[in-house]
């Protein structure tokens, strides 16, 4: 809202003037947002935000013009740079993102926290000579204390707006969504709205070339639900910096396979008490997941499974007696849940799993002693990705739901191979990292 242009003060300093005409306003809400921007800018002090100078108005014969004056940000917007043909490396994308995140972290640490609500390439200025990054245009800014008030205005830019903004809501995770879209734009030259969506999720992995690790970060930034994104700018900074540290120095005398092996064995640490046995060489990885047997956890899970299915059985029988097959059919979804619970309990209690990734081939074998075996074999080149299966659970101590890893799933073309049920979340994350590192797969 408003028009921004450069002006020169009497002392020769170049400033950015944002002007809004009272006569051309479409409603008083525009003036409210303009004045809010001035108030917020006056209170901010961060090297990544152009310094506030003044807010004033000038009356003319038939109009009143409101102005916000800031120090001019040197450089060009990411929008202008990309459309002008500038191409950027992954490392530069991460560097720019971390600079923006430092601003978002500062805004989030204020009390009350401040939400920009319009993070996009046009509002990020880069000075290519110095590398300085500035976040501009706080016209959509809002503090968290007022972000849920009825009557707030839907602001932002389509493609970079988080889904919750369409419901007049904004959280600290809202700006992270805009940053994810901006990073995708820098790498592809296309706005997020260009890409297909699946259940409100931007689908880009098969359309943009980038490392799986960076794709994982952007993927999480672009989660439709705020609770599924990174929860703070600091978490994203840590993720990007950890990714950069995973570039290992290897002696020039090592072969490619040996170099890859050094990277594999250095990437992650085995969690204390891990039950999984892992063997590897330069081109082979073998994973053995033992059956857990009867433990307190599997006993509790088994008891719940029995109770669940017993209840559904009684309910179905009563439905058959009182209302016939049609009424009993309503129990089918509960039977599906019960069968899944029974399968998970059986697998975690009695089933041992062995995975082998040996050069061009792989195999997965499930077994219950010598009584039963099931084996899947295939070609490694057909493995697309591996991911964690998560479930939302209620944390009684914290009073909110959280996501916990429950198993892993390996994607082979259109086939899915699930394993690892019953392992602790930390062990699943470690195993995920080991397999990804060996196969160099995206998650």
Torsion angle, CA of 257/262/268/271, rounded to 10 degrees? Answer: 100
422, two tokens: 């019953």
DSSP class of residue 122 equals: G
Overall size of the chain counted in residues:
443
DSSP per-residue letters across 299-366 = HHHHHHHHHHHHHHHHHHHHHHHHHHHHHHGGGHHHHHHHHHHHHHHHHHHH-EEEEEEETTEEEEEE
Q: Rounded distance, CA 316 to CA 203, Å?
A: 41
- Report the candidate in 155, 138, 134, 160 with the shortest Cα–Cα distance to residue 221: 160
Contact at 8 Å (CB) between 402 and 422? no
Tally of helices (H runs) and strands (E runs) in the chain: 10, 19
Q: Half-sphere exposure of 7 toward its Cβ, with a 13 Å CA cutoff?
A: 14
Residues noted as catalytic: 118
SS3 410: strand
Q: What is the DSSP letter of 285?
A: E
């Amino acid at each position: 809202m408003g028009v921004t242009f450069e002006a020169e003060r009497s002392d020769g300093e170049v400033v950015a003037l944002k002007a809004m005409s009272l006569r051309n306003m479409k409603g008083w809400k525009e003036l409210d947002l303009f004045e809010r921007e001035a108030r917020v800018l006056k209170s901010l002090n961060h090297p990544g935000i152009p310094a506030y100078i003044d807010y004033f108005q000038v009356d003319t014969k038939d109009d009143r013009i409101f102005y916000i004056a800031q120090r001019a940000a040197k450089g060009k917007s990411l929008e202008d740079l990309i459309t002008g043909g500038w191409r950027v490396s992954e490392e530069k994308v991460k560097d720019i993102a971390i600079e923006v995140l430092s601003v978002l972290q500062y805004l989030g640490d204020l009390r009350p926290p401040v939400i920009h609500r319009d993070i996009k390439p046009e509002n990020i200025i880069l000075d290519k000579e110095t590398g300085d990054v500035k976040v501009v245009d706080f016209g959509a800014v809002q503090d968290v204390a007022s972000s849920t008030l009825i009557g707030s205005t839907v602001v932002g830019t389509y493609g970079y707006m988080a889904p919750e903004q369409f419901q007049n809501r904004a959280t600290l995770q809202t700006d992270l969504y805009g940053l994810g879209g901006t990073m995708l734009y820098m790498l592809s030259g296309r706005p997020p709205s260009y890409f297909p969506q699946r259940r409100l999720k931007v689908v880009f992995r098969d359309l943009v070339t980038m490392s799986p690790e960076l794709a994982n970060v952007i993927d999480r930034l672009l989660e439709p639900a705020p609770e599924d994104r990174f929860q703070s700018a600091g978490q994203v900074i840590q993720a990007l910096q950890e990714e950069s540290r995973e570039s290992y120095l290897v002696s020039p005398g090592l072969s490619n396979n040996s170099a890859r092996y050094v990277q594999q064995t250095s990437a992650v640490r085995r969690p204390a008490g891990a039950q999984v046995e892992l063997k590897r060489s330069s081109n082979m990885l073998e994973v053995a997941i033992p059956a857990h047997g009867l433990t307190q956890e599997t006993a509790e899970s088994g008891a719940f499974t029995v109770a669940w299915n017993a209840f559904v059985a009684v309910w179905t029988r009563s439905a058959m007696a009182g209302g016939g097959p049609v009424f009993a059919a309503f129990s089918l979804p509960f039977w599906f849940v019960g069968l899944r619970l029974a399968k998970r309990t059986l697998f975690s209690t009695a089933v041992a799993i062995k995975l082998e990734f040996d050069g061009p081939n792989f195999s997965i074998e499930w077994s219950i002693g010598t009584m039963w075996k099931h084996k899947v074999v295939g070609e490694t080149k057909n493995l697309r990705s591996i991911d964690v299966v998560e479930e939302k659970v209620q944390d009684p101590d914290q009073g909110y739901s959280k996501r916990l890893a429950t198993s892993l799933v390996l994607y082979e073309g259109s086939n899915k191979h699930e394993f690892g049920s019953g392992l602790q979340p930390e062990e699943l994350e470690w195993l995920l990292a080991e397999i990804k590192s060996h196969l160099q797969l995206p998650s």
